[in-house]
Chains A and B, each alone.
Chain A
Amino acid sequence: MPLYAVLTGLILGGVIMAIAKYNPFAAYAALFSGAFGSPTAIGNTLAGAVPLILAGLGIAVAFRTGLFNIGAEGQYWVGAMAAVWVGYHFPTMPWIVHVPLALGAAMLAGGIWGGVIPGLAKAFVGAHEVITTMMMSYIAILIAHFMVENGPMMAPGYVPQSPTVAASATLPPILPTVFLNSNLSDAFFIAVAAIVVVHIVLFHTTLGYKLRAVGFNARAARYAGMNVPLYTVLALGVSGVLAGLAGGVQLLGVDFQLTDTFQSGYGYTAIVVALLARNNPIGIFFASVFFAALSAGSQIMQINAGVSANMTDVITGIIIFFVATDRLYGYWSQKMRPHRPSSTAAIISGKGESPQ
């Protein structure tokens, strides 16, 4: 089904391009070569998938527990801030301590941002996590702006940016001679490890079973004696931990300093990743590579085929739409049937047509 949504998205995207008098085949060819056309391009696509994998895993854990963490973007930024702060404060620390410490700080920050306030608010007073995580996300981004715009994390000088992290806190590139000048770093291995861990925890441990039970039917889980508030906080916390880690590895592996543009978009694309992958950790790998490829290829598409890079957002929107409307097929096949009995309600309201 997700494959069908992807295909529909690509085809309808092609139709829109054709209507706008572009050649969709040339556009997609440029897109593909931009994403996979050279070792550097492949390296950048895989590097772009890393934060999507991590944040996407986090969103999937929340979804599996029946919670919608829409604030991964903010959790990403608090993770990024924490990692950078640790990264430039202890320049003499050995690598083996410094990197785990910085990433640990990122995970802790993300976990607090997602788990403590939205988690507790959801668990104890029922505040909807869609709103609380979104509000926390805006707050995180404003704090990040504050930090580098004459705030405590601003580097000396007039440019709104943080100091660069120490060399001892950076994630080294993978095979720099093969993936020439690409952004691919050891963060990729962290992302793959996270997939394995989340998969095992979700599907092969009691904890994972309980999280999924709460997501499947919170009331039944409560009657079965499960501590639903605890698992709610835990799921949103883990969700934040993973999104925070995404920010951490991105800053230690690719960006190395906070600059004034707080729009990674990873936190939002990660939602799409989780949806497309049906919250399956292994599916998340492929969905992340797919969206990273769309994003990496869109620039080349704009340069070589003249199609605005925003076209990929149109395609992404269509794909999510068709993931959500998976009943479409059943709907049309039902429409084909000649005689449908009308519902009583429809007869009462004087309409021959029954609502679904």
Chain B
Amino acid sequence: MNFWVQIFANPELYAATLAMATPIALAAVGGTFSERTGVVNIAMEGIMLVGAFFGVMVAAATHSAWLGMFGGVIAGGLMALALAWPAIRLQSDQVIVGMALNVFAGGLTAFLLNTVYGYNGTPTSTPSLPIVTLPWISHIPFIGQVIGQHDVVVYLMFLFVILAHFTLFHTNLGLRMRAVGEHPEAAETVGISVVKIRYLGVTIGGMLSGLAGVYLSLGMLSSFEVNMTNGRGFIALAAMIFGKWTPFGAFGAALLFGFATALSIALQGSGVSANLVGILPYALTIIALTGLIGRSRPPAADGLPYVATK
């Protein structure tokens, strides 16, 4: 009993939760943008990897973590275009294109790591993104230890979650995005360009996933490792669905996944199997999907190619 109190009363558990939730939340919010406009995005994993790699590459070349972040975000956006174009213009199967991008990104980043940097990996002189200490909040007991000091991307994540919610549900653009994802024919009839909105949704999604990747390579570390996303892109996919295609929902789900990861780290060497604790988020996702925590319904036109009627 005492043991569990010790684990759960430790603010570091919750700080780690936040750190672990950040890449998942960013990618899940990105996926939300993509799917709200009607393009299924299972390529978050691959886009994150590309963002992580090019983030490090640019940061190492320019000795600026900020430029690296910029590079990673742009790379993520470009990678997303490789999904957007076939999905929107060629009516390709979005799930299959997403699969292709994941395999391609995994291969490409590993190949480039080996080809550009050789066996020693990315340069050790690569800068990492700064850690920010919030002036007042960090002094509050417990809460300050949880949220007071984090990598800058963690705070950016909060900003983007709120911004995404505001954009999707309180602006004209958000209304258009949701209209295109629910009923593209109707949206087109009232003069909304389905093609443009979908490109925008997928690209924003890609940039956020790219940032998620940058956080892994330049935030948590200052190097790139082969397959360093380690399935987080797929977890983000689950978080997006668990969160019912809303930014706040995605954030909440990401916190849950982050908590499970943080808990399994905290339990290492304690005798409680971290593997079994790790099952929790996946099991919860299935339970959520089977409707025990309320049905989650995708945007009606999610994944359906749109062909304008002439």
Contact = CB atoms under 8 A, between A and B. Distances in A.
Interface of A: 16, 20, 68, 117, 121, 125, 127-128, 130-132, 134-136, 138-139, 142-143, 145-146, 149-151, 268, 271-272, 275, 308, 310-321, 323-328, 331, 341, 343-346, 348-349, 351, 354-356
Interface of A is mostly: helix
B61 interface: no
B110 A324 contact: no
A262 to B, nearest CB: 10
B200 interface: no
Nearest to A135: B282
Given A128-B289, A131-B285, A343-B310, A310 B110 contact: yes
Nearest to B240: A131
A324 B97 CA distance: 6
Nearest to B306: A355
A116 to B, nearest CB: 12
B79 to A, nearest CB: 11
Given A310-B114, A317-B101, A344-B310, A127 B289 contact: yes
A121 B279 contact: no
Contacts of B308: 343, 345-346, 354-356
Contacts of B96: 275, 320, 323-324
Given A139-B283, A325-B90, A351 B107 contact: no
A313 B92 contact: no
Contacts, number: 174
A308 B110 contact: yes
Interface of B: 42, 82, 86, 88-93, 95-97, 99-108, 110-111, 114-115, 188-189, 191-195, 226, 231, 234, 237-238, 241, 273, 275-276, 278-279, 282-283, 285-286, 289-291, 295, 298, 306-310
30 contacts: A16-B111, A125-B291, A130-B42, A132-B286, A135-B238, A135-B283, A142-B276, A142-B278, A151-B273, A272-B99, A275-B99, A308-B110, A308-B114, A310-B106, A313-B104, A313-B107, A317-B101, A317-B103, A320-B96, A321-B101, A324-B96, A326-B92, A345-B194, A345-B308, A354-B310, A355-B88, A355-B194, A355-B306, A355-B308, A356-B90
Contacts of B92: 324-327
Contacts of B108: 310, 313-314, 317
Contact of B237 (A16, A127, A131, A318): A131
B107 A125 contact: no
B110 A325 contact: no
B276 A345 contact: no
A313 B104 CA distance: 6
Given A308-B115, A325-B90, A134 B278 contact: no
Given A128-B289, A321-B100, A142 B111 contact: no
B95 A68 contact: yes
Contacts of A315: 107
A341 B96 CA distance: 31
Contact of A313 (B90, B106, B237, B307): B106
Q: Which A-B residue pairs are the 10 nearest by beta carbons?
A: A317-B104, A313-B107, A320-B100, A310-B110, A308-B114, A314-B107, A321-B100, A127-B289, A324-B96, A317-B103
Contact of B275 (A149, A272, A275, A349): A149
Contacts of A346: 193, 308
B104 A127 contact: no
B234 A134 contact: yes
Nearest to B298: A128
